[in-house]
Amino acid sequence: GNEWLLPESDCAWCFSQVKKIRKVLREIDKPFGLYPNFLSPVSGNWVQHHVSVGGLGDSFYEYLIKSWLMSAKTDTEAKNMYDEALEAIDTYLVNVSPGGLTYIAEWRGGVLDHKMGHLACFSGGMIALGAEDAKEDKKAYYRDLAAQITRTCHESYARSDTKLGPEAFWFNSGREAVATQLSESYYILRPEVVESYMYLWRQTHDPIYREWGWEVVMALEKHCRTEAGFSGIQDVYSSNPNHDNRQQSFFLAETLKYLYLLFSEDNVLSPEDWVFNTEAHPLPINHWDSSTMAGHRH
């Protein structure tokens, strides 16, 4: 049964609290339309102007577009906030390297750090997901942007000895899509790159995304498989890397799930009926909301 579900009144209360937080974020002054990562719960003001689509910031943008999708496209506030945020990201953070690689930089009070974290590589999939319902004159642009960012993230894998990507990679001093120090050269079985491969495959059915996904499978088998499971590695630029002896829980929950879906038929957890949260748990799209709204309009 449905015993585990919250009573309807409690659900409404929870949603109203979320809406309050979103209203604050919608109305607060944002530098150039960008959302810094830190907001004081005491003052309600930004604590520092560090903007990142990677760690600390990633899920916020993802949940705007996914809230809209999960509501069967009735939550227009979330969609509008996503569109405005993506436009600001595209204007102020998206760059193209001298070698032709498109990436999303980080922003510190007006100064750009020309790097992407592995965590930011989910954004190719997010932008592809949002492109389906972008304004007509922007659809093709955002589809191409999603593909270019995903290609850049693939390059961060292709340019390593292990064919696995580092925790962060830079674009400076003539070096592109590579980590510049050992403290960023590790790989801990993260899913974000294969997540984008999965979304781009389902949108385009370009075989390159399955080819890239299979490269990851082979690299995982070669460098990360152990007798007891799979381990992260300490340096992706070593041809014989040391294991960190940790199998992160997201490897099973996300990395392998996205790889499985990449090689599955599109009707397996179809995007018509399911939305993945940021940990790849499938949540049902609320088609009931949509039909109810349609009924009210008649």
Task: Tell me which DSSP letter residue 243 carries.
Answer: B
The answer to whether residues 224 and 233 touch, using CB atoms and an 8 Å cutoff, is yes
Q: What is the DSSP letter of 41?
A: T
CA distance 200 to 129: 8
First to last CA, the chain: 32
Side-chain half-sphere exposure of 55, counting CA atoms within 13 A: 7
Q: What is 100-115 written as a DSSP string?
A: S-EEE-EEETTEEE-E
- Of 261, 247, 139, 250, the C-alpha closest to 197 is 261
Question: Which among 62, 155, 167, 176 is annotated as catalytic?
Answer: 167
278 annotated among ligand-binding-site residues: yes
| Residue 167 annotated to the active site | yes
- CA angle 27-31-33, nearest 5°? 60
Binding-site members for Ca(2+) are 278
Binding-site members are 278
What is the set of active-site residues?
Answer: 167
